[in-house]
A = this chain, B = another copy of it.
Amino acid sequence: MRPTLADVATRAGVSKSLVSLVMRDEPGASPETRRRVLEAAGELGYHPDSRARLLRSGRSRLLGVVFGIQHPFHADLVTGLYTAARETGYELALSAVTAERDEAAAIASLLQDRCEALILLGPQSTAASLGGLAARMPVVVLARSVRVTDLDVVRTDDAEGLRLAVDHLVALGHSRIALIDGGRAPGAADRRRGYGAAMRRHGLTAHIEIVPGGLTEEDGAEAARSLLLGTSGPDDRPTAVTVFNDRCATGVLDVFNRLGLTGRESISVVGFDDSSLARLAHVNLTTIAQNVPEMTRQAVDRALARAHGTPDPVRAAVISPRLVIRGTTAPPPQR
């Protein structure tokens, strides 16, 4: 059997309460006692049982996080959440969505863990079911917009992101700028809107071209092929594309590279997310960076505020993205 508080107390020759205080770093024990307790705990290899601790204290100090284990950008967000949570003394309880484990299952498992709040990364549940959940406990939706009261939303200003992308390409001299779209993915609708608005503002309404894409490399590769297919040559195609996300942009780039689109034929590419993918030297993707530290900090703060009954009156935090210029954008080739 693993050692308990009582074992440590016996060994240190003190009462359980003292041990409890010492283990939690609370004041109220003499230095000498503290030393003895710590020593005994170390010798026994004692770790406090968080279950019992939480049961008794009523609060779990646990933040539930639902994420898609196959999404590289979720990995970046989870990393940020760990960092943000550490400063607050809360632990993260991760629950992954996989091909065989849907979002409902992921959420249900966290419900049993008595998390004080839930942070959902780009959830696919309907607004109604998110609302139902939010009625029962504090919920923060991260990286998706959802019109439901009683829950917080933390997301990037997607429309602004596409404005940044289009502005950058226009400044380089492009006018035929296509969008490879994210379909029904979180944020895709806003990015589409932002693209259209930016193009119109630059008087490029005639050049608006939206190609169906998706979230994955595969979707990007397909979109790239369909973009080139059926065009008679470089003069008949866009000189730049802005893509739903980095992952998808990687697929686009891959096809462009394989087809040897250089010089007169080259096409500029802008991604979205600034995931670790984009930063790789050999990819070196110009992209719209989401502010992960800020997003994750806000998500944690808002989750805790809600858990403590003092929710932020402004229910949505819309965070500005930032343009990161790397190697995949250049002035349009002279044709």
Contacts and interface: CB of A to CB of B under 8 A. Distances in A.
Contact of A112 (B50, B72, B113): B50
A257 B78 CA distance: 33
A184 interface: no
Interface string A97-133: 0111100000011011110000000000000000000
A61 to B, nearest CB: 11
Interface of A: 2, 45, 47-52, 54-55, 60, 69-70, 72, 75, 78-79, 82-83, 86, 91, 93-96, 98-101, 108-109, 111-114, 136, 216-218, 221, 251, 254-255, 257-258, 260, 276-277, 280-283
A251 to B, nearest CB: 6
B283 A217 contact: yes
A281 B217 CA distance: 9
A43 B93 CA distance: 27
How often does this chain occur in the complex, in copies? 2
Contacts of A254: 254, 257, 282-283
B50 A281 contact: no
Contacts of A49: 55, 112, 114
Contact of A98 (B50, B79, B100, B114): B79
B112 A47 contact: yes
A225 to B, nearest CB: 9
Contacts of A70: 72, 75, 79, 276
Contacts of A82: 96, 98, 100-101
> Which of A94, A276, A277 has its CB near the most chain B CB atoms (within 10 A)?
A94
A51 B114 contact: yes
Given A221-B281, A280-B251, A100 B78 contact: no
Contacts of A113: 50-51
B136 A109 contact: no
A105 to B, nearest CB: 9
Given A78-B98, A79-B98, 16 more contacts: A49-B114, A50-B114, A51-B54, A69-B75, A79-B100, A79-B101, A82-B96, A82-B98, A86-B101, A91-B109, A94-B94, A217-B277, A221-B280, A254-B257, A257-B258, A258-B282
